[in-house]
Amino acid sequence: MKLDVYATIADVKKEDLPSADAVVIDVLRMTSTVTNALENGAEKIKLIGKEDEARRFSKQENALLGGERGGVKLSGFAFGNSPLEYTREKAENQKIVMTTTNGARAAEAAMDAKSVRLCSFINVSNVASHLKNSPHVIILCAGTHDAFSLDDCLCAGALAESLNAEQENDLAIAMRLLYAAHENDLQAALKSTKHYKYLESIGFTDDLNFCLRKDTHACVPIMDQDGWFENEKNKRLHDSCIS
Ligand code: MLT
């Protein structure tokens, strides 16, 4: 396996995507939130970078709206971007269109890849196990406002450790080593970082605790051919029923 980790969407070599399996990481909080929503039974989730497009598409699809700007739920939306909002009671069987500042744009940037999955600490080992036969994995970190974000890159390091690829780019090696040094206290490693402190300052301490626990979830979100994310377990069941 060849593994390339990129710190922002601007760094990705677009020409490599069609033959690679892509993994998008936005630990705080989009990929953690979508994973929790699908684990709690949401039917499927579409990620759209632009707010007006998300509003239009949700009407067309008769779907609920979720997401944030500045970390805060948008007016008229059913959900914000807190994973804790997406309970089974509220999310089960729902189609949800989400727009978030960085994560949704990263998912859009990965769309041309052979497959696109979403990863965060809460599902990292399962994401790795779904990729073990891939010849080329590209990890695309969402970053914050087009800049390196330590939470995403540390999670890329955790995924790199589990993937154990024969060939890694330098960022994959760096993040794997950094993760190994901090895996026992992710809170300590991240508590001075920009987005962590911002989310804490606007009252999302419980989200931080939720997002920094490893392997609490089985769900691996994967993109279908229409660009919606669904639980890979359900997709496999569905695919085997129609083949
Ligand atoms: C994003 O996509 O920028 C983040 O998930 C923002 C957030 O923490 O709400």
Cα 74 to middle of ligand 1, angstroms = 13
Write down the pLDDT at residue 237: 65
Average pLDDT for the chain? 96
What is the average pLDDT across 104-119?
98
Write down the pLDDT at residue 242: 61
Percent of the chain with pLDDT over 70: 97
Write down the pLDDT at residue 241: 65
Contact call for residues 105 and 51 (beta carbons, < 8 A) = no
Write down the pLDDT at residue 239: 75
Q: In testing the pocket of ligand 1, which one of 81, 86, 204, 208 has its CB within 8 Å of the most ligand atoms? A: 81
Q: Whose CA is nearest to atom 7 of ligand 1?
A: 71
Residue 25 sits at φ, ψ, to 5 deg, of -125, 120
Write down the pLDDT at residue 235: 74
Question: pLDDT at residue 2 above 90?
Answer: yes
Cα 135 to middle of ligand 1, angstroms = 30
Could you give the CA distance from residue 45 to residue 227 in angstroms, rounded to a whole number?
9
Write down the pLDDT at residue 50: 98
Write down the pLDDT at residue 165: 98
Write down the pLDDT at residue 84: 98
SS3 71: coil
Ligand 1 atom with minimal separation from the 80 CA = 9
Pocket of ligand 1 (CB under 6 A): 26, 28-30, 68, 71, 81, 100-103, 199
Q: Which of 154, 136, 229, 160 is nearest to 196 (CA)?
A: 154
Question: pLDDT at residue 57 above 90?
Answer: yes
Cα 58 to middle of ligand 1, angstroms = 19
Cα 224 to middle of ligand 1, angstroms = 22
Number of other CB atoms surrounding residue 233 within 10 Å = 16
Q: Whose CA is nearest to atom 9 of ligand 1?
A: 71
- pLDDT tens readout for residues 60-109: 999 999 999 999 999 999 999 999 999 999 999 999 999 999 999 999 99
Contact call for residues 84 and 207 (beta carbons, < 8 A) = yes
Ligand 1 atom with minimal separation from the 68 CA = 9
pTM of the entire structure?
0.96
What is the average pLDDT across 166-179?
98
CA Rg value for the chain: 16
Q: Is 93 left (phi over 0), alpha (psi -120 to 50) or beta?
A: left
- pLDDT tens readout for residues 178-208: 999 999 999 999 999 999 999 999 999 999 9
CATH of 2-242, one of 3.90.1560.10, 3.40.225.10, 3.30.420.40, 3.40.50.2000: 3.90.1560.10
The residues pairing with 73 across neighbouring beta strands, listed in sequence order, are: 68
- pLDDT tens readout for residues 16-41: 999 999 999 999 999 999 999 999 99
What is the average pLDDT across 46-59?
98
Q: Amino acid identity of 171?
A: L
Cα 228 to middle of ligand 1, angstroms = 19
pLDDT bracket for residue 234 (50, 70, 90): confident
The 10 Å CB-count burial string (b at 16+, else e) for 150-177 is: bbbbbbbbbbbbbbebeebbebbebbbe
Cα 235 to middle of ligand 1, angstroms = 26
